[in-house]
Chain A
Amino acid sequence: MSRATASSTGPLVRAVGLQIGYGGRAVIEGIDLAVEAGQGLALVGVNGSGKSTLLKTLAGLLAPIGGTVEVLGTSPRSHPHRVAYLGQFHPAAGLLPLQVRDVVLMARYRRRGLLGRLRSDDHRVVAEALERVEMAQHASEPLRSLSGGQQQRVYLAHALARQADVLLLDEPTAGLDAHAQERYVSLIAEARARGAAVVIATHDVRDAARADHVLLLAGRVVAAGPPFEVLRPERLSEAFGITLVAVPHGDHHDLLETGHAHGHGERTGHDHPERQL
């Protein structure tokens, strides 16, 4: 049994009436969410809809403007070694003289403190994490020599190597090819199976559909609930500012974009080729 499942009696991530924003100015108000051990929550919306701001607030990197936020039953960042956060940007990472293995090994620093010796266990966890993202063969290569997609896999390995009970991932599939995305899906499923709570920020509706709960954002909470309730064409149209229709495809429906909504000049599939989301 995982530590998260064993030690927790309530949601691992919880927010009530949360207001988020920058510099005292609220971007979104009235956010309520709860993610239990083994559950997944997807934050869905267009660029600037508040997904990353909410994720940073859950991570404790931004202070909430109002309301309550709890991670592992207390304030965010109270348990640094039990929460992993993968941000969108790593501005200096590609410039540093770091090998791939070094980047993932940094995930173990907090467990060993300032001067504690890294153990064979740490090296094993790092090797496994690299193996799971299929980057083990690149372990001794400089990070800066890798492509963007490969670097993203290394950052995913860094998040996995923290062996955290809460995973907060901002656009985790950015730059990943189809095969790596499949791998990512199974990694997230494994993390949830061992009892981790996973929160992802994404604008990929298919990725969001795999979560237990979805929070649809557009500078406000458009909808919240299970995917089949939230990821409906009319709600997505509202959040993404485009017109969507559901088209039957085997045992599921594909969402097709047919134009811009809300007076942006709605277009038909004839003059604007339909785009699958």
Chain B
Amino acid sequence: MHQLVSPFLDNPFRQRSLLAGFLVAVACSVAGTFMVLRGLAFLADALAHGVLPGVAGALLLGAPGVLGAAVGAAAMIAGVNLITSRSRLSSDTAIGLLFVGMLGLGIVMVSRSSSFSGDVVGILFGEILGVSRRDLLQQAIALAVVLSIARVFARPFLLLCFDPEQADMAGWPARRLELLMLTMVTVCVVMSFQTVGTLLVFGMLLAPAGTGALLARRVPAMMAWAALLGCASVYVGLLLSYHFDLAAGAAVVVVAVGMFFVVFAVQSAQQAVSGRRADRSAVAA
């Protein structure tokens, strides 16, 4: 029992990392739920990678990384919108193009400078064990923004996920709503990259919400499951990283994805068993 709590009892760094992880998990569970329901996972993945050149550029110029990340995300969304509205290409092609293009650009920028190779590792994988009070505040603000958007626009978002035409008919334009939903995801990505990193924030957006979708029969329940599982992933991941000397951010996301596959496997087994029982009953009848 002591081993379950000892890493966090008298270590302020780990206490802060745990708190930051919880804040990221709750924000990502809310934004991730709508992202999964609307089918925006690929775009969110591209966003998570698309911030790299923005962050790299900001670091080169001595500007805040968050600002660079926001610019990178905005460029990504604008690029996808431009291609889909001015060509016959589908959105996944546009997203894929921007995805590899922005990632490549980020790597090129990094390769031209030898001064911040260590920072780039931090961008990609985060520094959840090095969270400062300022990072915590930033994360809390991000959570407040995400919760506010989700609370105020829950009804239009739900209609958008159900049927964009019904959102339009209700007087809530679907294109603007989708942009707002993407903004909510972007806030999570931009504000979370310093804690869990750009690559891993995507996992926190997707895995707990995906698991929640397997478990829940209603959207609020899906969101609650996602928040619960996200926080559990943070706790278990940090615990594993402490006891087995693992990369903390990666451990958190591996646990989150692992939970998805455990639930998926259990449900598949249950369905197989109930299917066999039904077959036997049919034969007996």
Q: Is the CB of B219 within 8 A of A98?
A: yes
User: Chain B interface: which size bin?
Assistant: 20 to 34
Is residue B216 contacting chain A, with contact meaning CB distance below 8 A? yes
Please, which residues of chain B bring their CB within 8 A of the CB of A80?
169-171
Q: Is the CB of A87 within 8 A of B163?
A: yes
Is residue A240 contacting chain B, with contact meaning CB distance below 8 A? no
A83 in contact with B162 given A97-B213, A97-B217 (CB within 8 Å): no
Q: Is the CB of A110 within 8 A of B171?
A: yes
Measured between C-beta atoms, what is the minimum distance from A10 to chain B in Å?
Answer: 22
- Cross-chain contact of A106 among B165, B166, B218, B221 (Cβ < 8 A): B166
> CB within 8 Å of A: which residues of B?
37-39, 151-153, 155-156, 158-159, 161-163, 165-166, 168-172, 213, 216-219, 221-222
User: With A60-B169, A61-B165 given, can you name 5 additional A-B contacts, CB distance below 8 Å?
Assistant: A93-B163, A96-B162, A98-B162, A98-B219, A142-B217
Measured between C-beta atoms, what is the minimum distance from B23 to chain A in Å?
Answer: 25
The chain A residue with its CB closest to the CB of B166 is A106
Q: Is the CB of B219 within 8 A of A96?
A: yes
- Cross-chain contact of A110 among B158, B170, B216 (Cβ < 8 A): B170
User: Per DSSP, are chain A's interface residues mostly helix, strand or loop, or mixed?
Assistant: mixed
- Cross-chain contact of B152 among A84, A91, A93, A115 (Cβ < 8 A): A115
Chain A residues 76-104 with CB under 8 Å of chain B are 77, 80-81, 83-85, 87, 90-93, 96-99, 102-103
The chain B residue with its CB closest to the CB of A168 is B169
Please, which residues of chain A bring their CB within 8 A of the CB of B222?
97
A114 in contact with B166 given A106-B158, A142-B217 (CB within 8 Å): no
A98 to B165, CA, bound (A): 18
Please, which residues of chain B bring their CB within 8 A of the CB of A109?
155-156, 158-159, 170
Q: Is the CB of B165 within 8 A of A85?
A: yes
The chain A residue with its CB closest to the CB of B225 is A97
Q: Is the CB of A99 within 8 A of B170?
A: no
Q: Is the CB of B155 within 8 A of A90?
A: no
- Cross-chain contact of A77 among B152, B155, B166, B169 (Cβ < 8 A): B169
Is residue A59 contacting chain B, with contact meaning CB distance below 8 A? yes
Q: Is the CB of A99 within 8 A of B217?
A: yes
Please, which residues of chain A bring their CB within 8 A of the CB of B219?
96-98, 102
